[in-house]
Each structure stands twice: as structure tokens, then as C-alpha cells.
Amino acid sequence: MLCGSVGAVAQTPSPTAGQIDTFKNMSPEQQQAVLEAMGAGGGTNARSGVTQTDLSLVSPLTVTPKFTVGGTERELAADGQPRLAAGDTLIIELELDEVCVFLVHLSLKFRHRHAQLRQVFELVKRSAKPVIVAGDFNTFWGEHEMSLFMEASGLRSANVAGLPSYPARKPRMELDFILYSKGIEIDSFVIPDVTFSDHRPLVCDFHVTG
């Protein structure tokens, strides 16, 4: 989850049913419990999985996310979800006034993950704005597996201490990341003790500097 000068909390929705119990797919009661545990509250845009909070908003969040699959923007099905085929890689892009956010959920397979990271890299390099890349990277080697991608893209991890987020009840592994580019400064980063999913949420407060 991200909290910043864009005035929003965001979480990656699951690209396929049953992969992970995400914020978007929780019941309203579970969503409210998560928000209260993190000191936030507000209503949810069910289509985008973006929750406007009682933080000081710079402006209302009215953007519609882009769904990119294999480097190509994909249309939505009748239920408001992107059309996916087996093996597809889903990247959700939120382009705001001052920052571009990419939400990802990478494969459990090493070779597939690195092919997906190449797709993310191309999207990051094309962005003219500061960038945040966040989500479940399934990197079982932690930041060591991410080092080449981070060096090539110029991204840094908000989790400077390398805190684990998986499994939620007793975290041992760093599978989830919030990465940020030049032009963004991190004000705070925490992993709260919230166990509604198999991963604990990452909460990052940031501001855009240019």
C-alpha cells in the first residue's frame, strides 16, 4: 500500500482468481479493518482497487488505471477486469499528475519472473515522470534477485532494512517491494501486523520532489 502526496492508498489486485486475497477482493468489513489498522479510513473504488483516505488530498483521484499485458494495453471484460490468458503478465499503471505507479504481481517461476521484469523495465524507462513500482515480486532470493533490475532502472527500495512480509503470520521472506525512482523521497515505511492475506501489507508514505 502507498500513501503519498497523491493522497491515495493502493494495492495490487490479483490478476487471477485465487492467487492471493487482496485488498480489492476483501469484504467491506475486512477492508475497513485493514484501513483502521493503518490509521486510515475512507471509501473504495472497487474497479481500480484504489482507496481515497482521510489524508490531506492534493486533488481527488479520478484516473482510470491502464492494464498492460505483455507490453500491450489490454481491454477490460464486462466485469471490469482485464482479459487474461494463461501465462499472461498483468501490470496495472496509474498515471497521476506528478508520478506514475506500476502495480505488479510476478510469476513464481524464476525464468518467467525475469522476463516480466524486462517488461516492467521498458515501462519504467518510457515514463517521463518519477516512478513507483510496487507489488508481489515473488523474489525468493529477496533484494539480491532484484539487484540487476534495480541498478538498470535506477530504482531504490523503500524497505531499506529488508524487512520480510511473507508469510503474514510469521514473516521470513522479502517477496514484496515498493521501489521508487529519482524525484521521490520516502517519509516512512512500515510493515504492519495485518494478516488478512498471506502477505503482510507494505505501507509507504512519500512525497514527490520533482
Query: Average pLDDT of 100-116?
Result: 90
Residue 2 — pLDDT band, cuts 50, 70, 90? low
- Is the model's pTM score more than 0.85? no
Alpha-carbon span 154 to 71, nearest angstrom = 20
C-alpha closest to that of 95 among 48, 50, 129, 57? 129
Q: Which of 32-36, 43-47, 122-126 has the lowest mean pLDDT?
A: 43-47
Whether 70 shows a pLDDT value over 80: the answer reads: no
Alpha-carbon span 53 to 74, nearest angstrom = 28
Whether 56 shows a pLDDT value over 90: the answer reads: no
Query: How far out from the chain centre does Cα 118 lie?
Result: 17
Whether 51 shows a pLDDT value over 90: the answer reads: no
Query: Average pLDDT of 138-157?
Result: 90
Beta-carbon neighbour count of residue 10 at 10 Å? 26
Burial class (CB in 10 A: 0-12, 13-18, 19+), 117: buried
SS3 184: strand
Whether 123 shows a pLDDT value over 80: the answer reads: yes
Segment 12-23, tens digit of pLDDT: 333 333 333 344
Domains and CATH numbers, the chain: 2-208 (3.60.10)
